[in-house]
Every structure is written in C-alpha cells, then in structure tokens.
Structure 1
Amino acid sequence: MSFLKISNLYKNYGQVEILKDINIEIDKGGFLVLVGPSGCGKSTLLNTIAGLEPITSGEISINGNSVAGLHPSKRDIAMVFQSYALYPNMTVAGNIAFGMEIRGVPKDERDKAIKQVSDILQIGHLLDRKPSQLSGGQRQRVAMGRALVRNPQVFLFDEPLSNLDAKLRVDMRTEIKRLHQRMKTTIVYVTHDQIEAMTLASKIAVLKDGTLQQFGTPAEIYNSPANMFVADFMGSPAMNLLTARLENGEGGLNVMLERPGEKPLALPIKNANGVLGGYSGKEIIFGVRPEALTDPDGADRNARSIAEGECLIEVVEPAGSDTFAVTKLGGKEVVARLRADAAIHAGQKTKLAFNLDKAVFFDPKSQLRIA
C-alpha cells in the first residue's frame, strides 16, 4: 500500500487554478522529488502536504490516514526550508532541541537525540555555536538535524540547497542521499534543479503550470519522456528536439533530417512500430540526447541500431571528461557528446553516430511522445 498518496488534488487562489488534478503516490521510505520551472506549483504542492496551504479539493493521505484539513502539528511531518529558519539567539544544540523542549521531552532524551543527529550530520563540534558563526552548509545541516530529531513519518525539503555555492550543493546532495539510505525515511523534496532530481529521487514528479506532466522513476523520466516539455527540461545538456520527416525507404522507415547546403540526412529505423509507421510522409519531432549522438568509435557497442551521417561541425567545446560538438540539423543547433580525445575541429565535416535505440519521437501538434 502507498505510504503517501495524493489523489485528484486541486488548489485554487480565488478563480485561479494553481494545482490541477494531481495524482501521486510513493511507498514507505521512498524519495519523491517535485521538479519543474519557477511558478509551476511544486512548492505549493509541498505546502499542501505540510498543511501550510489548504487544498480546494482532493485527498492527501499518509500511512493510510487522511490528513486533508488536519493541522500541520497533527500530521507528523518535519520540514526543512530554503532559508534554514534557525533561531539566531540560540546555539546549534538549542535550535535542534527547541521543538522537543516545547513538546515536553525530558532533558536526558533531548541530549541523547541531539548527540545522535549531530553524529549523523557531523556537527558535534558546532553544538555551542550560534547560527551567525556557521557557514551556509553548516546551517543547512543544523536545519536538517532539527527535523531529524522529530523522527516524523515524512520529511519535506523545500529547495534546501539553492542558497549554497555549486561545489557545496554537490557535497550536500551526497550527504542527503547518504542520510536517506541510512535512515530509510520517506522524503518529499522540491527543487528546480533537474540534476538534483535525477541523482536523489526514487520517483520524480515533473510539474508545469500546475499540471503533472509525468510521474515515474528517474530512468523512465529520462529515457521515455512523456512529452516534449519533459524531454527538454530533464537532462543537461537538454535533449536535441529536431523537426524531421518520416519516409518509407527500401529497408523501411527513415528519419529525414535537413542539412545546410546538402541533401537531407537519412537515418534508417529498424523495427519501427505500427504507431510510428502511421506517421510515414509526415513531419515529426525527432528526439536524441547528446550522449546518443557521438563519434563512431565512441558509440555504444551494445546498441542494436546505430546510424551514421556526415555533419558539419560548427563549434567544439572541450569539457574535460567529454567534448561537446555543435552541428546543425533540421534547422536547429544540435549538441553531440563525444569522447574527450575525439579528433574533431570546428569547420570540418565528420561522421557522427546516432544511437537510434535511444531515440524518441513526438507529435509536433500535441507534443506527446508517439514512440
């Protein structure tokens, strides 16, 4: 049975619909990440789970019990905010213990809990300091410690790493992942950073304009995006989404991609399904991720369908472990991800290998995936 279940949830502010028919469920110990661009409704959804925002209609249940309309203090949840929300006049130990003190937890139990979470978060040496004496990463650990001592049914994180610099964000991401693996807690985590979503989540909910675009595992979201928005939003660099035509050739269907000053590039599709066949002679959107477009020697040896085509390289971007190359196909710039030592130069024509096992196809009108 699902541990956290959100059913047919709507949230309105007056006549404005903010969340529209949200349906999500995760098992006990799951790590759900709500991701999407600014203003998509992810923080509002988190606040409805916390009880900080009332829902207009629908249902939220935790461990089989409805919490809709229940006061936040009765929901057995703990929240970690983007702004840390620490009491500046209290020490680290005081901040961690404050909630327990309010609830009348005996001092020896408070001290035991403080020691336990400070050991887990490696902040034992900071217990006597005030928040003003801490770095951003240390403050975030204290905020997490204050939530951990609650031992709630569900932890809620509202963009907890967005105030940190890039390196510290990566370090804290690893710490949160390690913490989840160790404690097996149920977490709902809001972020606009799709890399955070991919690395932390057991399930991802992608939101746009208050509507759930796709819900699934990171692999499902990344490899089988439900629509063009998800395909474009999830992944860095983003998926290449190219206007193409499907045409019947001698061996079956071909993806035809326009090239500047040359005849179209034809990529044969092996074992095309019937739905895709119905688009023969029509325009489609051909999606291929940069890592599925590479130099022939770097192509996946286990792929069943690799097609090669000559392309004019316009820009080369060395990136340490990879080299990114930009060419133009289907009237758009296309990013290929090559090996670091790939012999490639701007202005030259070179063969690129398309891993068609990883290709996806979208209807240009509905923007939904068709294959």
Structure 2
Amino acid sequence: MAFLEIDNVCKSFGPVDVLKNISLDVEEGGFLVLVGPSGCGKSTLLNTIAGLEGLTTGEIRIDGDVIDDLPPAERNIAMVFQSYALYPNMNVGQNIAFGLEMRGMPKAERDAKVQEVAKTLQIEALLERRPGQLSGGQRQRVAMGRALVRNPKLFLFDEPLSNLDAKLRVDMRTEIKRMHQTFGTTIVYVTHDQIEAMTLGTKIAVLKGGIVQQYGTPAEIYNNPSNLFVADFMGSPAMNLIPVEIDGSWVRLTRDGDDPLVLDFDQLPASVGNMSGKQVIMGIRPEAITDSQGGAATRASSHRTVTAKCRIDVVEPAGADIFAITALGGKEVVTRLHQDWVGQAGQNHDLVFNLDKVVFFDAQSGERLR
C-alpha cells in the first residue's frame, strides 16, 4: 500500500474545474514532484493535501488514513512556502522551535532538536540572528529547519526556490536532496522548473489544465514522453519535434534546398508504419543527434544509427557541450555535439542520429504512437 494516496481528486471553484480526476500514489520515503506551467493546478493539489483547500470529490489518504475531513493542524504535515513565512520578531532558533513550543514540548527537548536540525542544515551560527539579517538561501534553510524539527509524516514544498538567484537555486536543490537522503522523508514538491523536477524527484507528475499528462520516474518522463506536451515541456533544451513522412520503414525529413533526409529504421512499430500519408511528429532529444566523435560511444553500444550530412546554421558553445542548430522538416533542430567538435556555421557536417532514441506522435491528437 502506498504511503500517500490521491484517489480521483477533483476540485472546482464555481463553474471552473481546476483538478480533474487526479490519482497518484507515493511510497514512504518517496519524493513526488508536481510540475507544469502556471495555472495547471499543481499548487491547488498541494493545498488539498495540506487541508488549505477542500475537495469537491475524491479522497486523500496518508498511511492508510483518510484525511479529507481533518483540519490542517491535525494532518501531521509540514509545509515550506515560497515566501519563507518566518516571524520577523523572532531569531532563527525561536522560529525553528515555535511549533514545538506550541505543542508544549519542554524547553530542553526543544533546544536539543533545534541544535540537531541546525547542524544538519549548517545554520548553527545563525541561531541568534533575525530573518531580516539573513540571505534568501539562509531564510530557506530556516524554513526547512522549522519543518524538519517537527518530524511530520509528510513534507510539502510550494515552489520554495523560485525567489532565489540561479546559482543559489542549484545549491538549495542539493540541500533539499541531501535532506531527503539523510532523513528519508516523504515529500511532495511543486515547481514549474522542469530541471528541479528531474533532479529532485523519485516520481514526477506532469500536469496541464488540471489533468495528469504523465506520471512516472524522471527517466520514464524524459525518455518515453506520453504526448507532445510532455515531450516539449520536459528537457532543456527541449525534445526536437519534427514533422515527418512515413513510407514503410523509412522516415523522410524535408530540407530546404536539398534532398530529403531519409532515416531507415528497418522496422517501425505497427502504429507508426500504418501512418503512411498521415501527419506524424518525430521526437528526438538533442543528445541523440551528435557528431561522429560523440556518436562513437553510441555506435559501440550497438544502437541503430544513421550518419547524414546536414547544414549547420548556428553554433552555440556551452562549455562541456556545443549546441548546433540545423533545419529539418521545416523546424529548427538542436543537436548536442562533443566539446572538441570543430566546425563552422553555414557548412555541411556529418551528424549521427541515434534511431533507438526516436519516438513518434500523432500530429492530430498529440498522443504517443507505440
């Protein structure tokens, strides 16, 4: 039995359906990330778990117990907000201990727990400071410490890093990951940042319009997107989505001023092969289109590959990689090349296509063809 069970949850505000039959489950110690664009319903779902919003229909269970009718204070849940929500008139130690004090815990026991959490989060030197004297990252650590010290059944994070600068977001992602590994806590985490979702979650639920588009591990979401929305939303750079023509086992990609690029798959799934003459979208990640040096490992792994000359329109060095843009099927296609690749924009270069990494979608419905 799952530790957190969200069973056919619906939430409406008047005539507007914000959550539509959402069913998810999280194992104990799991890290579920709810990700999607603004307005997709992810924060509303988090608020229903916390008890800040009631359900229209459905049921939520924690450790087998239905919590729908429990007030927030009785759900044994800790929530970390985007705004930190620290008391400005209290120092860090008092902020962390406040919830324990309200529950009547003796002072000596409170102080010991505060010291333990502060040591884990490396904020021992900050215990006497007030929130106004802290940086954004330090305030977020304090907010996490206040949640951790209560030892709740479930932690909820509502876009906790969105107020931080880029480098600090990366640092805090590491801290949250370390906290999860150290304490074995069960976490539900809301973000619109798909990089946070991929790096933090043991499971990811991608939402759009109040509907779960796909639920799975980060690898499943990334490598096997269930529809065009998930394919385009998850990944940076995003998956290349290219209109193609199907002819038996051949896939044709048009090129301006040149012959079409033909990829021979030997055998395509029946659902794809049956799409001859219909609109099909081919999805391929940038790292699955690389140069001959980067493609050597791909070929050595016995993957199906095709090498073709393509005109490189733009070259974008990015340190460990080089991103190059070519045009296929009337779309700009991003490729990921080896850092030592030498080439120039405006010239033709060999590119290696890893056919084992290609997925196909119905252009009309947007659904994956399997």
Alignment TM-score, normalising by the size of structure 1: 0.98
Whole-Å Cα distance in 2 between the matches of residues 284 and 309 of structure 1? 21
Find out whether 1:234 has 2:230 as its counterpart: no
Residue 308 of structure 1 aligns with which residue?
307
Residue 257 of structure 2 aligns with which residue?
261
Residue 216 of structure 1 aligns with which residue?
216
Residue 163 of structure 1 aligns with which residue?
163
Matched residue of 1:230: which SS? helix
Residue 352 of structure 2 aligns with which residue?
353
Instruction: Structure 2: give runs of 5+ residues left out of the alignment.
Output: none
Matched residue of 2:6: which SS? strand
Q: Deviations over 1:88-147 (max 9, x none)?
A: 000000100111111111101100110110011010110000000000000000000000
Residue 363 of structure 2 aligns with which residue?
364
Whole-Å Cα distance in 1 between the matches of residues 88 and 303 of structure 2? 60
**Comparing 41-50 and 303-312, the one that deviates more:** 303-312
Find out whether 1:87 has 2:87 as its counterpart: yes
Matched residue of 1:178: which SS? helix
8 Å contact from structure 1 (residues 270, 305) kept in 2: no
Residue 334 of structure 2 aligns with which residue?
335
Whole-Å Cα distance in 2 between the matches of residues 272 and 365 of structure 1? 20
Residue 47 of structure 1 aligns with which residue?
47
**Comparing 156-165 and 274-283, the one that deviates more:** 274-283
8 Å contact from structure 1 (residues 303, 357) kept in 2: no
Residue 294 of structure 1 aligns with which residue?
290
Deviation at 1:281, TM superposition (A): 3.4
Find out whether 1:183 has 2:179 as its counterpart: no
Deviation at 1:277, TM superposition (A): 1.8
Matched residue of 1:297: which SS? coil
Matched residue of 2:364: which SS? coil
* Percent of residue pairs identical: 63
**Comparing 234-243 and 289-298, the one that deviates more:** 289-298
8 Å contact from structure 2 (residues 92, 127) kept in 1: yes
Q: Deviations over 1:58-82 (max 9, x none)?
A: 0100000001121001111000000
Deviation at 1:259, TM superposition (A): 0.3
Instruction: Structure 1: give runs of 5+ residues left out of the alignment.
Output: none
Q: Deviations over 1:236-258 (max 9, x none)?
A: 0000000001112xxxx111000
Matched residue of 1:83: which SS? coil
Aligned residue-pair number: 367
8 Å contact from structure 2 (residues 282, 359) kept in 1: yes
Find out whether 1:10 has 2:10 as its counterpart: yes
Residue 274 of structure 1, aligned match among 270, 274, 282: 270
8 Å contact from structure 2 (residues 247, 273) kept in 1: no
Whole-Å Cα distance in 1 between the matches of residues 154 and 182 of structure 2? 15
Matched residue of 2:367: which SS? coil
Give the counterpart letter for 1:40 in structure 2: C
Whole-Å Cα distance in 1 between the matches of residues 58 and 29 of structure 2? 24
Give the counterpart letter for 1:53 in structure 2: E
Whole-Å Cα distance in 2 between the matches of residues 89 and 43 of structure 1? 29
Give the counterpart letter for 2:64 in structure 1: G
Matched residue of 2:369: which SS? coil
Deviation at 1:190, TM superposition (A): 0.4
Q: Deviations over 1:306-350 (max 9, x none)?
A: 012221111000011000000100001000000111112100011
Deviation at 1:297, TM superposition (A): 2.1
Alignment TM-score, normalising by the size of structure 2: 0.98
8 Å contact from structure 1 (residues 7, 59) kept in 2: yes
Whole-Å Cα distance in 2 between the matches of residues 180 and 347 of structure 1? 48
Whole-Å Cα distance in 1 between the matches of residues 100 and 340 of structure 2? 57
Give the counterpart letter for 1:106 in structure 2: P
8 Å contact from structure 2 (residues 92, 128) kept in 1: yes
Give the counterpart letter for 1:205 in structure 2: A
Find out whether 1:24 has 2:24 as its counterpart: yes
Residue 99 of structure 1 aligns with which residue?
99
Whole-Å Cα distance in 2 between the matches of residues 244 and 102 of structure 1? 63
8 Å contact from structure 1 (residues 267, 308) kept in 2: no
Structure 1 consecutive aligned stretches of length 4 or more whose deviation exceeds 3 Å: none
**Comparing 186-195 and 307-316, the one that deviates more:** 307-316
Matches within 5 A, 1:110-149: 110-149=110-149
Matched residue of 1:112: which SS? helix
Residue 59 of structure 1 aligns with which residue?
59
8 Å contact from structure 1 (residues 243, 330) kept in 2: yes
Whole-Å Cα distance in 2 between the matches of residues 181 and 358 of structure 1? 31
**Comparing 235-244 and 296-305, the one that deviates more:** 296-305
Whole-Å Cα distance in 1 between the matches of residues 271 and 314 of structure 2? 36
Classify 1:196/1:303 alpha carbon distance in 2 versus 1 (closer, same or farther; 3 Å). farther
Matched residue of 1:181: which SS? helix
Deviation at 1:303, TM superposition (A): 4.3
Matched residue of 1:351: which SS? strand
Matched residue of 1:342: which SS? coil
Deviation at 1:296, TM superposition (A): 2.0
8 Å contact from structure 1 (residues 35, 207) kept in 2: yes
Q: Deviations over 1:269-290 (max 9, x none)?
A: 1332222221133321000000
8 Å contact from structure 2 (residues 4, 63) kept in 1: yes
